[in-house]
Copies of this chain bind each other. A is one copy, B any other.
Amino acid sequence: MKRRPPVVELVCVGSELLDGKADTHLGHIALRLRAAGLRLSRETVLPDSLEPLTAGLRCALRRCDALLVCGGLGPTFDDITREAMAAAVGRELVFSPRLYAGIRRMFARLGIRRPPKENRHQAFLIRGAQALANRVGSAPGQWLAMPRQPTLPSAPVVALLPGPTREMLPMLEREVLPRLRRACGRGLHSQALVLHLCGLPESVADQRLRPLIRQAGPELDFTILSNTGQVDFHIFARCSSASRSRDIIARARRLALRLVGPHIFGEGPVQLEAVTGSLLRRRGLTLAVAESCTAGLLAARLTRAPGSSGYFRGGVLAYADEVKRGLLGVPAATLRRHGAVSSACARQMAAGARLATGADVGVAVTGIAGPGGATKTKPVGLVFVAMSGPGRAIASSRLRFSGDREAVRQRAASAALRLLWSRLKRNEA
């Protein structure tokens, strides 16, 4: 029998989430579910209001195999997740003396003899539910396995979790995920791989990867994400055996390498700055920057990688032309003849960064981020990046970016990083 993948949904409860006040747990929970071989099908954020919350939960239960609900388990009047879920599944709430004893013990540890009467709410369980231990706060979670019903596609399981991250995450990890694996694993084995590409716009990457993307089916699935000059290509497999998942991923990977290989800078949880850093480290090279329009964005990104102090020496931010001359040694004649936004200036800045800091490699950016500063021949978005070293090597490129000031700056920093990566990689090959 061919089985569909389990449908898991998340509901976050809290009017403050809809008022711009706080983040939901979507990112945290999604990543932990994937590590358990499960994927979220939907997230819904609902207010602390009994009627829409109950209706929203009831709808979700009709769609899914597992429903995680975060928030609204506290002691105050607007914590109504217990009541709403009880109504949604048509069961009553039952006072648990054992749970209340636990809440009293927790307060006793804090030196409070009788819990406020509001906390009595927290000792009510949906009939048939198991309590989930909360080692951090006063709100116990609940786990409910529903019997198979004729109107539902499957017998759903429900987990109620507290809202605060520091209470929710340990309960998810220790109490909910193990139960969820048993309930929804269904003998399916999942595997995922992400390939990171650079130097290729999203739509072009998509076009080139078509022969692979066309193979998507029940066992294989893709997503393309793009972010400031980088494209992430995600490959997912979900098969009846672990070895088949591995094979399918490996085959997809081989085809992707044939289609866009030279643009792939890494696989898995890596960033371009860390990959570039490894290339430098492997060859024992040090690095410096000279930045004009990006004014530190490139260096800030290079040093995001832990351990970057092993190869990054520093650099010069040269916004004013006198700083380009004084600290980077860009000749006045270059500035006069070609201007500060020119290939010649970028190359001399890159060389100057090496000289000023004693680094083996220098990388430079100069450009017009806008909104002001454009001339007849030099529009907003015109950027030059250059790289000097190792040794006598020198390279530069001229780029033109669209977008506002911040977008041009971010893209310019990305382009400089790409130049650095591609030259270091070519030298190594």
By the criterion CB–CB under 8 Å, are B319 and A314 in contact? yes
Q: Contacts A371-B306, A402-B109: A52 and B59 contacting too (C-beta < 8 A)?
A: no
Report the nearest B residue to A232, measured CB to CB: B21
Kindly list chain B residues whose C-beta atoms are within 8 Å of the C-beta of A234. Answer: 16, 19-21
By the criterion CB–CB under 8 Å, are A312 and B299 in contact? no
A24 located at the interface, meaning its Cβ lies under 8 Å from any Cβ of chain B in the complex: yes
The 7 closest A-B pairs by CB, nearest first: A296-B296, A20-B30, A296-B299, A20-B31, A314-B323, A296-B300, A295-B303
By the criterion CB–CB under 8 Å, are B31 and A372 in contact? no
A405 located at the interface, meaning its Cβ lies under 8 Å from any Cβ of chain B in the complex: yes
A326 located at the interface, meaning its Cβ lies under 8 Å from any Cβ of chain B in the complex: yes
Q: How far is the CA of A46 from the CA of B224 in the complex (A)?
A: 16
Minimum Cβ distance to chain B for residue A53 (Å):
10
By the criterion CB–CB under 8 Å, are B118 and A357 in contact? no
Q: Contacts A118-B207, A206-B76: A26 and B30 contacting too (C-beta < 8 A)?
A: no
Fill in one digit per residue for A23-52: 1 if any B CB lies within 8 Å of its CB, else 0: 110111111001000011111111110001
By the criterion CB–CB under 8 Å, are A223 and B27 in contact? no
Q: How far is the CA of A46 from the CA of B298 in the complex (A)?
A: 34
Kindly list chain B residues whose C-beta atoms are within 8 Å of the C-beta of A289. Answer: 296, 317
Q: Which of these, B110, B313, B407, contacts A402 with CB under 8 Å? A: B110
Where the two chains meet, the residues of A that have a C-beta atom closer than 8 Å to any C-beta of B are 15-24, 26-31, 34, 39-48, 52, 56, 59, 74-78, 106, 109-111, 116, 118-119, 136-137, 166, 202-204, 206-207, 213, 222-225, 232, 234, 289, 291, 294-300, 302-304, 306-309, 312-320, 322-323, 326-327, 356-358, 370-373, 400, 402-407, 409
Minimum Cβ distance to chain B for residue A109 (Å):
7
Kindly list chain B residues whose C-beta atoms are within 8 Å of the C-beta of A56. Answer: 42
By the criterion CB–CB under 8 Å, are A18 and B46 in contact? no
By the criterion CB–CB under 8 Å, are B202 and A76 in contact? yes
By the criterion CB–CB under 8 Å, are B356 and A327 in contact? yes
By the criterion CB–CB under 8 Å, are A76 and B224 in contact? yes
Kindly list chain B residues whose C-beta atoms are within 8 Å of the C-beta of A297. Answer: 296, 300
Report the nearest B residue to A75, measured CB to CB: B203
Kindly list chain B residues whose C-beta atoms are within 8 Å of the C-beta of A31. Answer: 19-20
Minimum Cβ distance to chain B for residue A216 (Å):
9
By the criterion CB–CB under 8 Å, are A42 and B46 in contact? yes
- Of A28, A74, A303, A312, which is in contact with the most chain B CB atoms at under 10 Å from its CB? A303
By the criterion CB–CB under 8 Å, are B206 and A77 in contact? yes
Q: Contacts A118-B206, A225-B21: A306 and B26 contacting too (C-beta < 8 A)?
A: no
Minimum Cβ distance to chain B for residue A233 (Å):
11
Minimum Cβ distance to chain B for residue A150 (Å):
21
